[in-house]
Amino acid sequence: MSVRNDIANFIKYPKETMWLVVLVIIVLTGFGSFSKGKETMETISLEAHYITYNSAEELDKADLILIGTPIADFSEREHQTSYYFDGSLEDFYTNTEIQVEKIIKSPNDFELDNSDTFSVIEPVGLVEMDGAKKVTIDGYREMKKGEKYIMFLNKNAYGKYSIINNDLGKFNLDENSIEINKFAKKSTELTLEDEVKIKYRDFIE
């Protein structure tokens, strides 16, 4: 049986994910590679339907907006996965520890100071499936260690904060970032990123 068929049989459907998915319909859309140390693993991108925000004004409705930097490599972060009784994948996400630089917006009961560390949920994870594989929602790219981001988050039912709007819920602020130069962006992403950087320029500069 091919690797693609193995994965299709392994992953049935996730539950409604707690970060941004209203109804998830999983479709295997493609493969890439991810390097964990000397090991190269496949990347599986899953298609999903979720709440989208199309402007900086809409993103401003997020519960929490902050600027910060991940402090660990992706492979060293806390990856959470759950499975159904038959072994198929139910849910996945990654807890990413952030060194907070600036808090732009927060709930009244939110207690965190600038320069503190804070854990946020990203819609990407590592799963064991004939070896380690990275699984993402709609090609989400995890935030890179040591690079500065502005990020938009909502609080879930468990009191944790997760990135909203998938890949368009965080924006890399490092002009020389390899991530910015490596990935070709969609026109809508460029427009939204420009809007965000203009709207929050007093915090970014």
Residues in the chain: 205
How crowded is the C-beta side of 192, counted as CA atoms within 13 Å? 25
Look up residue 80 and give its two tokens: 């959470």
Global pTM value? 0.76
Conformation bin of residue 25: beta by default, left when phi > 0, alpha when psi is -120 to 50: beta
Residue 142 CA to residue 129 CA, distance in Å, equals 20
| C-beta atoms surrounding 10 within 10 Å | 17
pLDDT digit string, tens, across residues 140-199 = 999 999 999 999 999 999 999 999 999 999 999 987 666 654 455 566 666 899 999 999
Do 136 and 24 touch, CB atoms closer than 8 A?
A: no
pLDDT digit string, tens, across residues 32-74 = 444 444 446 688 888 877 889 999 999 999 999 999 999 999 9
Residue 43 CA to residue 126 CA, distance in Å, equals 9
Domain ranges of the chain: 3-204
What top-level class would CATH report for the domain 3-204? Answer: mainly beta
Do 70 and 151 touch, CB atoms closer than 8 A?
A: no
pLDDT digit string, tens, across residues 78-111 = 999 888 898 787 889 999 999 999 999 999 989 8
